[in-house]
Amino acid sequence: MRVLVAYASRHGATQGIAERIAETLRKAGLEAEALPAASVKNLAAYDAFVIGGAAYMFHWLKDATKFVRRNRAFLATRPVWLFSSGPIGTEPIDAQGRDQKVGAVPREFAELVPAVKARGQEIFFGAVDSGRKPIGFAERMMSVIPAAKGALPVGDFRDWPAIEAWAATIARDLA
Ligand SMILES: Cc1cc2nc3c(=O)[nH]c(=O)nc-3n(C[C@H](O)[C@H](O)[C@H](O)COP(=O)(O)O)c2cc1C
């Protein structure tokens, strides 16, 4: 059983999650590798797929969305799981009193989860590195507008036990 963990990551936090999922799957006895979604050519080499992307401004990164849309017919015939790396901070509840993980579901999931008949979907807390170089318009604006500079919590909020536990459920499902 060969599993591909395909990811789209702007600053590396989601790549780290994808690599930990692949490592957990390998420890469970599966063949698994993590690759950037944009670099994947031969889907037929894999039996199952875990696909993850970071969420920015309520949207899944384009490379993850494009990968699923482009391959939706093939993916629908294989076991697939989707994840997003999104909320940051330590609060489980957001300012509107909602579960952070519910508010962080990328808009594309409503279309993509049923399109590939995903067996599961998950939201993981992400990371923001204070030393990162801003990429894209929103990040550049946030880095120059004084009021926006402190708007985002900075730090690594990835929950490794939760990530490994989710990967272990995938390994059990595929066993
Ligand atoms: C400008 C900006 C916008 C963001 N928007 C969202 C969002 O809409 N939803 C969310 O859950 N997380 C959001 N985040 C948090 C990122 O998704 C999180 O930091 C993620 O782990 C980054 O992953 P990456 O390093 O792989 O790019 C945002 C972060 C930044 C800097």
pLDDT of residue 143: 73
- Ligand 1: atom nearest CA of 157 is 21
Pocket of ligand 1 (CB under 6 A): 9-14, 54-58, 85-88, 104, 126-128, 138-139, 142, 152
- Ligand 1: atom nearest CA of 8 is 26
pLDDT of residue 135: 83
pLDDT of residue 136: 81
Rounded Cα distance between 18 and 154, Å, is 21
- Ligand 1: atom nearest CA of 138 is 1
pLDDT of residue 101: 92
pLDDT digits (tens, 9 = 90+) for 123-142: 999 999 877 788 888 777 77
The domains found in the chain, sorted by start residue, are: 2-174 (3.40.50.360)
How close is the Cα of 95 to the center of ligand 1, in Å? 17
For the chain (175 residues), the mean pLDDT of every run of 10, in chain order, is 97 98 98 98 97 97 98 98 94 88 95 98 93 79 71 90 98 97
pLDDT of residue 142: 75
Rounded Cα distance between 104 and 75, Å, is 24
How close is the Cα of 29 to the center of ligand 1, in Å? 32
pLDDT of residue 54: 98
In terms of Cβ atoms closer than 10 Å to its own Cβ (0-12, 13-18, 19+), residue 151 is exposed
